[in-house]
Amino acid sequence: MNAPVEKPKKPAMSLEKAAKARRKFLQSVGLTGGVVGLSLLGYIPVLGASAHRLRPPGALNEADFLSSCIKCGQCVQVCPVEAIKLGDMIDGFGVGVPHIDPRQQACDFSCDAVQCILACPTGSLTYKKPPFLNIREGALLAAAPILKAKENDPEPTLNLKERIGVARLARPSACLAVQGKGFKGQARGAGFPGKMRYMDVDRWKPIPIAEHPYDLPLCDLCVRECPVKGAIELRPFKSADGTSRMQPVVLEPCVGCGVCEMVCPAEPAAIVVDAQATWHGEVALAPAPAVTPKEPS
Amino acid sequence: MSRFADLFMGMLGAAPKKPEVVSERVQTIMFRKYEDKDRYIKEKMHARDHHLVSHKWRNRRWAVLLAVNLLFVFSFWLDIQILEGALTASRFVGFHLIDLNSALQVMLAHKHIIVNLFIGTFTVFLIWVLLGGRTFCSWVCPYHLLAEWAEALHLKLVEKKLVTDHEFHRGTRTVFWLLFALLAIVTGYTVFETLSPTGILSRALIYGPGLALGWVGLLLVFEIVYSRRAWCRYVCPIGLTYGAVGSLSPLRVSFHVEHCFHEGDCRKVCLVPHVLDVTVKGRASEESMSLGPDCTRCGLCVDVCPTGALRYEVKGLSQLL
């Protein structure tokens, strides 16, 4: 038999060239691993509890919100009180994603129409959730919120189906109403930049809270300035020493806008909004610190 | 493989190839250049002497890039509402515009598309199909401008032998594109957007600076001291997305072999020198050829070419520009 004909082989790559190619390959793998590894660090804040941010009205559930937000900030641009801020690197995957810090600047609905929802190009903020994105129990509002500012308009409601959080009297002992005290002066001091719409000042133009001082025999700022009808009220209760006192009670229509937290003159605020919390019924009247069960994420 | 497929593979990372067939016309040109060497060299020297260093296209491009980004900034700051949003998604006098790669990330992560997202994506798709290649990169992306300056600094340091350029495999970018798409599907988060200096810079300009700028700074330092233009060349999936979309565009930079002296000045200034492989002696198969889809249409090669062998052209309407 004939021996198989040997095919002329391609000349092998020079050792130097091969080493260079190998180095380039390894460096490329290193670059890939490095960049992907860094990008996955974005998980840390998301998985940590620190990710519980108050999202703008109409926000999808947190995971869906983060996946659908395109990080363009159009919601920021339309907000008349500049309540919406964008996340930074410490928010991981939430970098560029909008949130509200209600103590600094709450959403007071002075746009009248949740325009952030209208501005959102991806449906991260939405009037109506698509059916496959489930609505968490207690997130759905029983009825469309009635804006006190629009109460006499033909259309007094706000096109908002779900709450973004729930207010809670977190520090009853700090609450001026619980202490039976009144309030005089600027709610958050003269230097506070937060803005709000006052119907008796201007229907359309929010002004700094500092320009709107109060003189109240009993502090009811959270109830007085709440933009949503029937979301909070003062109720009497018997305090530990037997005297009759008043305390704010959060009711079902609370959407979690955070105005109560912003205007609360106590430092830190006696009433706070639990971001992304859902409604689990009224918290019983009690002088002791009341705790609303938090929605497991 | 067709030339188009070759160029497309080149964009994905394949090494440029010698042409299998060279047209007779090109053979004649090359033969003439060889035969009449004296005249050819004389012409070359003449062209060199009379070449005015021009920054025409670079200046136009920088002006456009700055104008677009400033329009975003002023639309918000001065509330003139012409171009609202950021580079990832915006509204131009009411029309939705959505960056293709950001839209892709959102669609893959969220697995749901609403009408506005679709409309905006389609608008931008059309724009870049017409403008072609990676025009977005060099004419709009704010990171490109910073990286361009970083690159100039890098080249100076290389010249002084203070640093060396470390090249990665160009296919790395394709791997990144696939990895980031996969990560979006699997994790349900738009993972790439966490790192994208394009989005970070655009937002920093419009909404104010943040810690994320530190990451952009690190990237620039990496490019200055370690690897020339690393992010744009080897990582950024936005460029690949736009390259693919713009691959059939009528607007392109074309190369005319007859005028070329094959000295390679163009390849030295180019961000994606593999698209200028046709300018290497013996690599052109046709008398006039357009550069591949990876070309960012930045015009640096057009500016630097002393003989006008590289030009902007609209297919079917040559010499329009």
How do residues B204-222 score in pLDDT, each as one tens digit?
A: 999 999 999 999 999 999 9
Percent of chain A whose pLDDT exceeds 70: 90
Task: Write out pLDDT tens, residues B115-163.
Answer: 999 999 999 999 999 888 799 999 999 999 999 999 999 999 999 999 9
B116 Cβ neighbours under 8 A, 6+ residues apart: A121, A122, A123, B96
Asked whether the predicted pLDDT for residue A223 surpasses 80, the reply is: yes
From CA B198, how far away is CA A95, in angstroms rounded? 13
CB atoms B189 and A76 under 8 Å: no
A106 vs B282, higher pLDDT: A106
From CA B235, how far away is CA B231, in angstroms rounded? 5
Give the count of beta carbons closer than 10 Å to the beta carbon of residue A223.
Answer: 17
- Give me the residues of B, 76-115, that contact A with CB < 8 A: 76, 84-86, 88-91, 96, 98-99, 102-103, 106, 109-110, 112, 114
> Is the CB of residue A133 less than 8 Å from the CB of residue A173?
no
Chain centroid to Cα B171, Å, comes to 16
Two tokens at B311? 């030009």
Helix (H) or strand (E) holding B205: helix B197-207
Chain A closest-CA separation from residue B265 CA (Å): 25
Q: Which residues of A are less than 8 Å from B85 in CB distance? A: 72-74, 77, 121
Nearest 5°: the CA angle B305, B264, B281 is: 110
CA B259, B262, B263, B267 dihedral sign is positive
Q: Which residues of A are less than 8 Å from B214 in CB distance? A: 89
B182 Cβ neighbours under 8 A, 6+ residues apart: none
From CA A43, how far away is CA B269, in angstroms rounded? 39
Q: Which residues of B are less than 8 Å from A89 in CB distance? A: 210-212, 214-215
> Is the CB of residue B189 less than 8 Å from the CB of residue A67?
yes
**Best CA proximity match to B45, nearest among B307, B308, B310:** B307
3-class DSSP string for chain A: CCCCCCCCCCCCCCHHHHHHHHHHHHHHHHHHHHHHHHHHCCHHHHHCHHHCCECCCCECCHHHHHHHCCCCCHHHHHCCCCCEEECCHHHHHHCCCEEECCCCCCCCCCCCCCHHHHHCCCCCECCCCCCCCCCCCCCECCCCCEEHHHCCCCCCECCCCECCEEEEECCHHHCCCCCCCCEEECCCCCCCCCEECCCCCCCCCCEEHHHCCEEECCCCHHHHHCCECCCEEEEEEECCCCCEEEEEEECCCCCCCCHHHHHCCCCCCCEEEEECCCCCCCCCCCCCCCCCCCCCC
- What pLDDT shows up at residue A285? 60
State the complex-level ipTM. 0.89
Lowest mean pLDDT among A124-128, A174-178, B20-24, B300-304: B20-24
- Tell me how many residue pairs between chain A and chain B have CB atoms under 8 A apart: 146
- What pLDDT shows up at residue B316? 72
- What pLDDT shows up at residue A146? 96
Lowest mean pLDDT among A7-16, A264-273, B170-179: A7-16
Among B106, B167, B211, B227, the residue to mutate for chain A (most A Cβ within 10 A): B106
Q: What is the mean pLDDT of residues A210-239?
A: 95
Two tokens at A193? 């930049």
Q: B153 to each of B59, B140, B303, how far by Cα in Å?
A: 18, 21, 20
CB atoms A71 and B102 under 8 Å: yes
> Is the CB of residue A81 less than 8 Å from the CB of residue B91?
no
Helix (H) or strand (E) holding B41: helix B37-50
From CA B203, how far away is CA A72, in angstroms rounded? 7
Beta bridge partners of B90: B85, B97
- What are the φ and ψ backbone dihedral angles of A67, each rounded to 5 degrees? -75, -30
Long-range contacts of B207-210 (CB under 8 A, 24+ apart): B207/A73, B207/A76, B207/A86, B207/B76, B207/B86, B210/A86, B210/A88, B210/A89
- What pLDDT shows up at residue A42? 85
Among A20, A29, A46, A71, the residue to mutate for chain B (most B Cβ within 10 A): A71
> Is the CB of residue B169 less than 8 Å from the CB of residue A21?
no
Burial (CB < 10 A; 0-12, 13-18, 19+), residue A14, is exposed
Burial (CB < 10 A; 0-12, 13-18, 19+), residue A91, is buried
Q: Which residues of A are less than 8 Å from B180 in CB distance? A: 39
Asked whether the predicted pLDDT for residue A212 surpasses 50, the reply is: yes
From CA A233, how far away is CA A220, in angstroms rounded? 9
Nearest CB partner across the interface for B88, out of A70, A88, A133? A70
Asked whether the predicted pLDDT for residue A293 surpasses 80, the reply is: no
- What pLDDT shows up at residue A291? 41
